[in-house]
């Protein structure tokens, strides 16, 4: 029962490390959480503790089918990352580039309709209600006033 071991697997257009356990390896695909990865491996009939490098082609194909449409295989809707979609009202699950593109489109729509979240995104501020008085200062000038900064070089030149 010796199987060929692969260090890197290609699952749903993502490179997955073969040394990881199956449930953890699936989380390396963008859009799949640990809970969803566990549910996928159980639905596919794969031991979650089995190393991903030992998966057969048939098992990989079964995992890809479930990842592409988890609702069709009876996984609960609360595991999906796009419930009650704005456009069609259906529960969907997006992965990899589709997830990134849809998230960007959602943010652009919020900016366009000038919602509060869209305003915060547009100005690079915190969106989810965090404090901003003392945190989130990276990338901004701190404590330097232009007037005093411009007077100093002039004073040093006169000496």
pLDDT digits (tens, 9 = 90+) for 88-124: 888 899 999 999 999 999 999 999 999 999 999 999 8
| Position 34 pLDDT exceeds 90 | yes
Burial 85-117 (b: 16+ CB within 10 A, else e): eeeeeebbbbbeeebeebeeeeeeebbeeeeee
**CA 37 to centroid of chain Cα atoms:** 14
Q: What structural domains and CATH numbers belong to the chain?
A: 8-79 (1.10.8.50), 96-158 (4.10.910.10)
Q: Say if pTM beats, i.e. exceeds, 0.85.
A: no
DSSP assignment letter at 82: B
Residue 157 has pLDDT above 70, yes or no: no
Rounded to the nearest 10 degrees, what angle do helices 34-43 and 57-68 cross at? 120
């Amino acid at each position: 029962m010796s199987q060929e071991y692969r260090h890197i697997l290609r699952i749903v257009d993502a490179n997955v490390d073969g040394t990881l356990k199956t449930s953890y390896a699936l989380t390396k695909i963008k859009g799949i959480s640990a809970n969803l990865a566990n549910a996928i491996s159980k639905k596919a009939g794969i031991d979650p503790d089995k190393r991903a490098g030992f998966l057969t082609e048939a098992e990989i194909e079964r995992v890809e089918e479930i990842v592409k449409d988890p609702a069709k295989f009876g996984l609960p809707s609360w595991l999906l990352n796009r419930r009650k979609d704005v456009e069609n009202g259906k529960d969907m699950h997006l992965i990899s580039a589709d997830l990134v593109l849809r998230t960007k489109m959602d943010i652009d729509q919020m900016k366009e309709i000038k919602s509060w979240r869209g305003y915060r995104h547009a100005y690079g501020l915190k969106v989810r209600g965090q404090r901003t008085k003392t945190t989130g200062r990276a990338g901004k000038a701190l404590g330097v006033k232009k007037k005093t900064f411009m007077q100093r070089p002039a004073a040093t030149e006169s000496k």
